A and B are shown apart, each in its own frame.
Chain A
Amino acid sequence: MFSKTIFKQTLKSNYGLWLIFTALVSAMSAIFIAIYDPKTMGTMVSTIKDSALGSLVGDRIDGMSTLNGLLANNFYSMVGIILPVVYIIITANSLVASQVDRGSMAYTLSTPIRRTKVIATQALYMIGAIATMFLVVTGVGMTTTQIAHGGVFTTAYTKDVQQISPTLGVSKDDLANDLSQILDHPKAVRKGAKARDVDQDVYTTYLQLKMTDNANKAAADVLAKKVAKVEATPQLILDSKKATKAAAKVMGLSSAEYRVAVQQQMVQAKAAKAQASVLQDKMIKGMAAAAKSMGKKTADMSDHLAEMKDDKNAMAAASQASGLPVPLLTQALDKQLATKLISEDKGGEFDLGKYLTLNLGAFLLLFAMSAISFASSCIFNLTKYSLSFGAGLPLAFMIFHIMAQTGDDLENFKYLSLNTLFDTQAIINNDSVVLNFIVLGVIGVCLYVVGLEWFKRKDLPL
């Protein structure tokens, strides 16, 4: 089913195009990754979300603030697919239909090599070309991520951890796993706050939030439950001795101390919940007053929280308008700013599993697309007909895909597009995409077989 001679020949006359497109796709992916900056991305996303553009971009905006999310919603649903599709269209046509159309296939088929063998070899080249293209793209992507952001082959550490670690003489890993060490040293807190470009109060709040997060994560690991669930009901942790111990260790506390802290937190949370809406109303009033005092728009205030904190007049105005004392307001602002830092950390995290799944999905989608182009190339004797299907369908799918994403009115177009099966958002959300991937694979295999069988049986004008 495979002819080495034909493969060699095909490789020789096709590798140039492969090289160009692989370089192009790799470069695009590298640029996407390299220019990603969690801080600006977070700000940009919140800006876009409130603007008219937000509705155009739709739901995708939410996933965009992380690198994985950006790649999924941007690169792997547009450029990263469309460029290889163009490559596939050209290559699939030149592998079979164009050779029949021009007549050069006569030389191959006048030798004792079966038609099946010829087509199987060409199909293998097509599939191999896409697979290697994505291997290269994945490799380049991982390398670029490692160089630009770290966290692929080594753990990525936040800027503060990186800078404090030598000061305290603790390894980065140890420090990241027990942030309480920073809180114990005022010097370290000062350094960390500077590294993260916030004041020490915010930084301290951030550390506490982060430690709670990490504790929840550690407990969730022990309990084999989702982090969100553990966060919602901390009682789950306290119910398990093992989980409590793990969480306490992250917080730099003993199990007993941790238990007390959590219980206190739970009571506080309950109280906060009851007051939440009242407090929120007050906060909004306060923010509006502060905005007025600072001469900013209320909607833009989220970007000026740090300034507001330092602006005594603004704080006074806010306190007056909201009826909340200044220290409480300051605390609320600290918490907001700290939360921002946390989401920045999350943005910087690179989920290798998701990244590999994205690439596998892209390969499977392109495998199915290539099967359409290849089958069409096998079925038609004339390039013009081969291309009208082999290029027409994949491009139509791309267009429907884009239309479906643009707005709710056109959402039903997603049922007309093969791209829908490569659900990048689902990968980011950790939803299962196994079935989608299997469907893509089956479509691909079936169409390749159709092409092969059709070519075996058809009349050739050679």
Chain B
Amino acid sequence: MPLIEIDQLTKDYGSGRGIFDINLNVEQGEVFGFTGTNGAGKTTTIRHLMGFLRPQQGHTTIGGLDCWLDSAKIKQQVGYCPGEIAFPDEPTGTSFLKHQAELLGLHDMRFANDLIAHLQLDPTANLKRMSKGMKQKTALVATFMADPQILILDEPTTGLDPLMRAAFIEIILAEKKKGKTIFMSSHMMDELEETCDRVALIEAGKIQKVTSVDAIKHSPNKTFKLEFADHDQYARFLDQGFTLQAKRPHQNQVIVRLNDADLNHFVQVMTHYQLNFISEIKHTLEDYFKGTI
């Protein structure tokens, strides 16, 4: 049985806004990415998982418990990073984390301190005067510090600089290694690509595609860009019967799609040509989803 189950979840806010018939399953130990444009319904879905919103139709469960009815019980094993940073009235980051630890019933702050060091956070700063990135780091520490089995993160990297984003990805990968189940939303495809096992694309409240990142990264279908030494060779190649994604006669370039099975045949054919260069065009999640939206 999947650990997180979203079953026919619908919340209609009228005039086309909301989420409609969402079905998603996240397995134990899986890192699941959730992407889509602003207002597509990512946060609404996550709020259902946290038991903040009551489903109009369908239901969501975590570990077999209903997210609306057993919300408090579920949160014993869930860490949540809200999409909007708004801290309670606390003077400093330290006092906020301490208070949050009390609410969580957490006494051992060792892991929290590790996280603080890793994210290079100075928690003694005034909470209200912190920069967006600092606040986000503080929020992340609060999310991770109790070492929960399930992590639900709503755009956890907003406001982080590239260096810190890398640190965040390290943390996610470390958590993944520990067997944690992670459900995170993000605009950043590269970030999802680096961390997630599967990614779902939501658009206008509906799931458009769910894909395995592995399948994209290690797909047997590859794409190469070739540039021939002259136009004659270019013209000759067009008749070789390969699948061509694009032709650029002025530059003598073609973009070829190849399955791994045809690779040897391709190499043999190419011995009869003079090339300026050949390069592989990496398949990315972004390209994959671009066709969808």
Identify the A interface with B (CB < 8 A): 3, 5-6, 9, 13, 99, 102-104, 106-115, 457, 459-462
Q: Does B103 contact A (CB under 8 A)?
A: yes
Evaluate contact between A459 and B88: CB separation under 8 angstroms.
no
Nearest chain-B residue to A460 (Cβ)? B52
Q: Could you say which of B86, B99, B103, B142 contacts A103, with CB atoms under 8 Å apart?
A: B86
Evaluate contact between A104 and B86: CB separation under 8 angstroms.
yes
Evaluate contact between A112 and B75: CB separation under 8 angstroms.
yes
Between A5, A110, A114, the greatest number of chain B beta carbons within 10 A of the residue's beta carbon is seen for: A110
Q: Does B231 contact A (CB under 8 A)?
A: no
**A103-B84, A107-B87 are known contacts. Are A5 and B102 too (CB-CB below 8 A)?**
yes
Q: Could you say which of A13, A103, A113, A459 contacts B82, with CB atoms under 8 Å apart?
A: A103
Evaluate contact between A112 and B47: CB separation under 8 angstroms.
no
Residues of A within 8 A of B104 (CB): 111-112
CB distance from B96 to the nearest CB of A (A): 8
Task: Please provide the chain B residues from 96 to 140 with a CB less than 8 Å away from any CB of chain A in the complex.
Answer: 99-100, 102-105
CB distance from A90 to the nearest CB of B (A): 13
Q: Does B262 contact A (CB under 8 A)?
A: no
Instruction: Tell me the bound Cα distance from A49 to B66 in angstroms.
Output: 70
Evaluate contact between B82 and A462: CB separation under 8 angstroms.
yes
Q: Could you say which of A3, A108, A115 contacts B88, with CB atoms under 8 Å apart?
A: A108
Evaluate contact between B80 and A110: CB separation under 8 angstroms.
yes
Evaluate contact between A111 and B103: CB separation under 8 angstroms.
yes
Nearest chain-B residue to A117 (Cβ)? B72
Q: Could you say which of B80, B99, B142 contacts A9, with CB atoms under 8 Å apart?
A: B99
Q: Does B53 contact A (CB under 8 A)?
A: yes
CB distance from B250 to the nearest CB of A (A): 54
**A9-B88, A112-B72, A112-B73 are known contacts. Are A462 and B103 too (CB-CB below 8 A)?**
no
Residues of B within 8 A of A99 (CB): 88
Evaluate contact between A5 and B47: CB separation under 8 angstroms.
no
Nearest chain-B residue to A3 (Cβ)? B103
Residues of B within 8 A of A462 (CB): 47, 50, 52, 82
Evaluate contact between A111 and B100: CB separation under 8 angstroms.
yes
Residues of A within 8 A of B75 (CB): 109-112
Residues of A within 8 A of B90 (CB): 13
Q: Does B161 contact A (CB under 8 A)?
A: no
Evaluate contact between B72 and A106: CB separation under 8 angstroms.
no
12 contacts between A and B (CB under 8 A): A3-B103, A5-B99, A9-B99, A13-B88, A99-B88, A103-B85, A106-B80, A107-B82, A107-B100, A107-B103, A110-B50, A112-B76
Nearest chain-B residue to A106 (Cβ)? B82
Q: 16 other contacts beyond A109-B50, A109-B52, with CB at 8 A cut-off?
A: A5-B103, A9-B99, A99-B88, A103-B86, A107-B82, A107-B88, A107-B100, A107-B142, A108-B88, A111-B75, A111-B100, A112-B73, A459-B52, A459-B53, A461-B47, A462-B82
Instruction: Tell me the bound Cα distance from A108 to B71 in angstroms.
Output: 13
Evaluate contact between B89 and A13: CB separation under 8 angstroms.
yes
Nearest chain-A residue to B86 (Cβ)? A103
Evaluate contact between A114 and B72: CB separation under 8 angstroms.
yes
Task: Please provide the chain B residues from 125 to 161 with a CB less than 8 Å away from any CB of chain A in the complex.
Answer: 142
Residues of A within 8 A of B4 (CB): none
Q: Does B78 contact A (CB under 8 A)?
A: yes
Q: Does B54 contact A (CB under 8 A)?
A: yes
Evaluate contact between A108 and B103: CB separation under 8 angstroms.
yes
Nearest chain-B residue to A457 (Cβ)? B54
Residues of A within 8 A of B89 (CB): 13, 104
Residues of A within 8 A of B54 (CB): 457, 459
CB distance from A207 to the nearest CB of B (A): 64
Residues of B within 8 A of A104 (CB): 86-89
Instruction: Tell me the bound Cα distance from A112 to B70 in angstroms.
Output: 10
CB distance from A55 to the nearest CB of B (A): 49
Instruction: Tell me the bound Cα distance from A115 to B73 in angstroms.
Output: 12
Residues of B within 8 A of A457 (CB): 54
Evaluate contact between B88 and A6: CB separation under 8 angstroms.
no
Residues of A within 8 A of B50 (CB): 109-110, 462
Evaluate contact between A110 and B82: CB separation under 8 angstroms.
yes
Contact with A along B48-59 (1 / 0, CB 8 A): 001011100000
Nearest chain-A residue to B80 (Cβ)? A110
Residues of B within 8 A of A113 (CB): 72, 103
